[in-house]
Amino acid sequence: MRPDLDPEQLDRYSRHIIMNDVGPEGQAALLDTDVLVVGAGGLGAPVLQYLAAAGIGRLGIVDDDVVERSNLQRQVIHGDDDVGRPKVDSAAEFVTGLNPDVTVDRHELRLARENATDLVADYDIVVDASDNFATRFLVNDACTLSGTPFSHGAIFQFEGQVTTFSGDSPCYRCLFPEAPPEGTVPDCATAGVLGVLPGTIGCMQATEVVKLAMDYGETLEGRLVAYDAAEMSFEEIPVAAKPDCPVCGDDPAIASVADASYEGRCSLAED
Amino acid sequence: MEWKLFAHLRDAADGQSVSVDIEEDATVETALDALLASRPALAEEVLDENEELADHIRVLVNGEDPFAAADGLATAVDEETELALFPPVSGG
């Protein structure tokens, strides 16, 4: 951990440093943490904003999409002039503009079986801010198999789900062993989403990452918060380790991401 | 008794909660049957090809997983029990 902060950092992070429960040590921990954010869309936008502002030392951004006008209703790090540009470029510019202290790694690619293990290995904490089940199961498996803590956030219309996994057990597959059959659970493009919803859920994910980085407080490990923006209600759903979990159970069938398929149900690979 | 539904299941049931009548010796399973009889469109969303509760749908009994904390679908329920069906969502 860095022993000291330079004068500009002492100024920039003064409202952190002044808190007894953060202090220069907590800020130094944030500056020494590397976080991989998978998805620079609705959830990724507030995650990147607050992690950049908090002074996370290195932020990796994974996304293979370009900014579309229909994204701007919720993806607040991209502007009208960014339409047509790669999201990683627009997101990286936002982060650097907000806080030049942060090193940004642009990964303009889709997280895949071939690259997930190596990408995850290069970071301390992963944020699942993706928009599809295939990526979500891949993030879970790559993180759980490598013991990397990760934050899970997902949204649907007025509802959000957010939880934190330590990288050990339980994992997302303890809750949902397989993805739903394709087409049964609609995505944002089909079902729509309240623009501010990913702001709320993404901010909760960023909060969890900051706490993990500083090793402070109680995370959402073992419980999933189901948020309903229409009712302004929060419910907790228990997340318990399942002995027959295919990834973190007693006799796991998935020992590497090569053992699973990340299409359709995201279950065991045929080969 | 009341079933609470989350995410796209609300669309299929045309509401976020559904009241059903149950017998005295009701279980999660018979309460689920009553729900699906009342809202047939839900069956396609929560049952698999074998007409059993799909792997990706979590059932909650008073906020807990009955497969971990009780007798699964055979768990006894009464008028006061809070039942819920909870699917994963993927949007980001």
**Digit-coded pLDDT (tens) for B33-92:** 999 999 999 999 999 999 999 999 999 999 999 998 889 999 999 999 999 999 999 999
pLDDT at A4 over 90: no
pLDDT at A186 over 90: no
**Domain of residue B48, residue span:** 1-84
**Digit-coded pLDDT (tens) for A190-227:** 889 999 999 999 999 999 999 999 999 999 999 999 99
Q: Which of B6, B56, B68 is closest, CB to CB, to A178? A: B56
Q: Name the superfamily (CATH) of residues A32-236.
A: NAD(P)-binding Rossmann-like Domain (3.40.50.720)
Domain containing residue B76: CATH number? 3.10.20.30
pLDDT at A241 over 80: yes
pLDDT band at A139 (very low <50, low <70, confident <90, very high): very high
What is the rounded distance in angstroms from the CA atom of residue A263 to the CA atom of residue A232? 34
Spell out which residues of chain B touch residue A237, defining contact as CB-CB under 8 Å.
58, 60, 63, 86
Domain count, chain B: 1
Q: Show Cβ contacts of residue A129 under 8 Å, excluding neighbours closer than 6 positions.
A: A37, A38, A39, A40, A41, A42, A43, A44, A47, A153, A202, A205, B92
* Beta-carbon separation of A184 and B6 below 8 A: no
pLDDT of residue A96: 98
Spell out which residues of chain B touch residue A153, defining contact as CB-CB under 8 Å.
92
pLDDT band at A187 (very low <50, low <70, confident <90, very high): confident
Residue B18 belongs to a domain = yes
Question: What does the pLDDT average to over A124-145?
Answer: 98
Q: State the pairing for strand pair B17-19/A233-238.
A: unpaired
**Digit-coded pLDDT (tens) for A102-128:** 999 999 999 999 999 999 999 999 999
- 3-class state of residue A199 by DSSP: helix
Q: Quick one: what percent of chain A has pLDDT higher than 90?
A: 91
pLDDT at A1 over 70: no
What is the rounded distance in angstroms from the CA atom of residue A236 to the CA atom of residue A131? 22
What is the rounded distance in angstroms from the CA atom of residue A85 to the CA atom of residue A269? 35
Average pLDDT, chain A: 96
**Annotated catalytic residue, options A143, A174, A188, A266:** A188
DSSP string, A94-141: HHHHH-TTSEEEEE-S---TTTHHHHHHT-SEEEE--SSHHHHHHHHH
With contact defined as beta carbons under 8 Å apart, do A119 and A107 qualify?
Answer: yes
* Beta-carbon separation of B7 and A178 below 8 A: no
* Beta-carbon separation of A133 and B45 below 8 A: no
Residue B36 belongs to a domain = yes
Nearest to A51 by CA among A216, A211, A163: A211
List the domain boundaries for chain A: 32-236
Q: Which of A159, A188, A242 is closest, CB to CB, to B7? A: A159
pLDDT of residue B27: 97
With contact defined as beta carbons under 8 Å apart, do A102 and A94 qualify?
Answer: no
Q: Show Cβ contacts of residue A95 under 8 Å, excluding neighbours closer than 6 positions.
A: A48, A52, A59, A61, A102, A104
Going A127 to B88 to A240 to A146, the CA torsion angle's sign is negative
Residue B90 belongs to a domain = no
Q: How many CB atoms lie within 10 A of CB B48?
A: 12
Residue B89 belongs to a domain = no
Distance between the two ends of chain B, CA-based, in angstroms? Answer: 34
Answer yes or no: A188 catalytic.
yes
Residue B91 belongs to a domain = no
pLDDT at A271 over 80: no
How far, rounded to the nearest angstrom, does the alpha carbon of residue A208 sit from its chain's CA centroid?
A: 10
Residue B92 belongs to a domain = no
